[in-house]
Amino acid sequence: MSRPPRGRRRRGGAGKARPASRPPEVVVIDKLAARGDGEARLADGTRAFVPFTLPGDRVRVEIGAARSDGVACRAVEFLESRPRAEPICPVFGRCGGCQLQHAPAPLYAEWKRDVVAECLRRAGVDAPLAPLERVPVASRRRADFAAVRAGGAVLLGFHEGESDRVVGIDGCPLLVPALDGLIGPLGRLLAAILRTAGDKADVSVTAADGNAVDMLISASVEPGLAEREALAVFAREHGVARIGWRTGNVAPEPVLVREEPCVRIGEAIVALPMGSFLQPSQAGEEILRRLVRAGVGDAGRIADLYCGVGTFALDLAGRGASVLAVDGAAEQVQALSLAAGRAGLGGRVTTEIRDLRTRPVEAAGLAGMDAVVFDPPRAGARAQAAEIAASDVGRCVAVSCNPATLARDLRVLVDGGFRVEGVTPLDQFPYSRHVEAVATLSR
C-alpha cells in the first residue's frame, strides 16, 4: 500500500484544550475540504480533516485536536489509494506551502473552482462562474523565506504547515530562476550572520523587471560591519539590486542599493518602495489586468481603491481613463504618482493616501465615477463595499485573494442594487489552497 507523506504537526493554540486520546479509525475520504485536506466522517459522525488525501482514499487515521467544526487527523496507513499526481518538489508533505501537489490536474482545477462557488453559495450570491485561470509553474516572482540556526546549522526554507518549524530547501520549483538560484547562496550568507542558536530571520525577496532582486531581511540580530560587508559581497556576486534590514518593528533600513528595482505597468515605470506589494506572478498580474479592463469597459472615470503601486490605475490611465487611485500605503501611492508623472499621465491620475479600512471613500466621494475597482487585503472591504453600494456608480470590479470575504462583499453590493455579471477564479498560487477571484458587477 502507498505510504502517506510525512505528516504536518498542527498547533493547538495557547490554552486550547486537547481532546482525550482516541484510538485510530479507518475512514473513507469523501471530498477535499476548503483548506485542501481530505474530509471524512468518523464513526460518531464528526468531520475529520486528513492532509494529503484524495476523495476515495481509505485510510487509517490518528485523531488529533479540534479544528473548526471537526478534528484534525493524520493518515498513518493507506488501505486504498486513488491515483495521484507525482509531486514536483522533494519536500512535499513537510513544507507547508504546496498542499495539493498530489491532486490530479482535473480534480485540482475543479476543487479550486468549487471553493469559490461554495463561498458564493453560502453568501447567497448567484453568479456565473468562469473556468479557472492558471499561471505557469516557475513564475512566482516573490517569496518569503524563513531561516533559523538550529543544531549547529542554519536552515533556510519555508515553515511546515500550521507550525513554526522551518523546512530547509535547496530550491523551489515554483519560483522564477532569479529567485530559485538565490536559495543556496542566501543560506550560506545567513549561516555567517545568524551565529547563535535560536537566531532567526525572515527574508522577503522580489524579482522586479530585468531580474533585479529586491531583498528585505527581518532578523533577531543587528548587522555589524562584518555583516554589512558580507551583504555587499553577496549583492555584487549574485546581482541583488537592493537589500534592506529590519530588527523588531522599526522601519527597514536600506543596507545597500546597487540599483532601484522597477516594474513597467503599461508605459509607466514604477520604482518599487522597499517591502511594497506586487502580484505574485507577472502572468497572474496580466490576467487580472485583462479581467479588470473587460469589467470596467469604456468607463471614462474610474476609482481604483487599494491601488498599491498602480497595477490597475496606471494601466487604465494609459488607455485613456481618468483614475482616482487610493491606498493607505503612503510610499506606494507616492511611487505610483511619480511614475504617472514621468509617463505623462499626471493629468489622468489623481492620488489619495487614505486608510480604506477605517475611512472608506464615501458614496458622495464616488459621485461622477463611471466604475470602481477594488482589490483589498484578505480581510476584504466590507465598509468600502457599503459605500459603493450607496453610490451612483454603474459598474464595479472586485478583485480578491479570499473568496469568503469576496462573497461577503458581493452580497453587500447586490443588496445595494448591483448584479454580479460573472466571477473568474485565478490560481495565482499553484498547488496551494489559495485561490483568487475577480467579480464584475453592474447596476
**3-class secondary-structure state, position 382:** helix
Closest CA to 403 of 424, 431, 429, 430: 424
Q: 108: which DSSP letter?
A: H
Scanning 343-439, the segments in alpha helix (DSSP H) are 382-390, 403-415
- Residue 401 annotated as catalytic: yes
Which residue reads 464513526 in cell numbers? 43
Task: Compute the half-sphere exposure of residue 321: CA atoms within 13 Å on the CB side of its CA.
Answer: 26
**3-class secondary-structure state, position 303:** strand
CA–CA dist 6, 103 (Å, integer): 16
**End-to-end alpha carbon distance in the chain:** 56
Would you say 175 and 143 are in contact if contact means Cβ atoms under 8 Å apart? yes
Other C-beta atoms within 10 Å of 377: how many?
Answer: 14
CA–CA dist 144, 201 (Å, integer): 10
Closest CA to 362 of 335, 404, 324: 324
Q: Pull the grid cell for residue 412.
A: 453587500
Identity of the amino acid at 437? A
Closest CA to 342 of 310, 299, 371: 310
**Phi, psi (deg, nearest 5) at residue 97:** -80, -30
Closest CA to 110 of 78, 134, 92, 138: 134
Q: Considering 73, 119, 172, 401, which one is annotated as catalytic?
A: 401
Helix axes 403-415, 105-122, angle to 10 degrees: 40
CA–CA dist 347, 177 (Å, integer): 38
**3-class secondary-structure state, position 292:** helix
CA 106-167-139 angle, to 5 degrees, is 45
List residues with catalytic annotation: 401
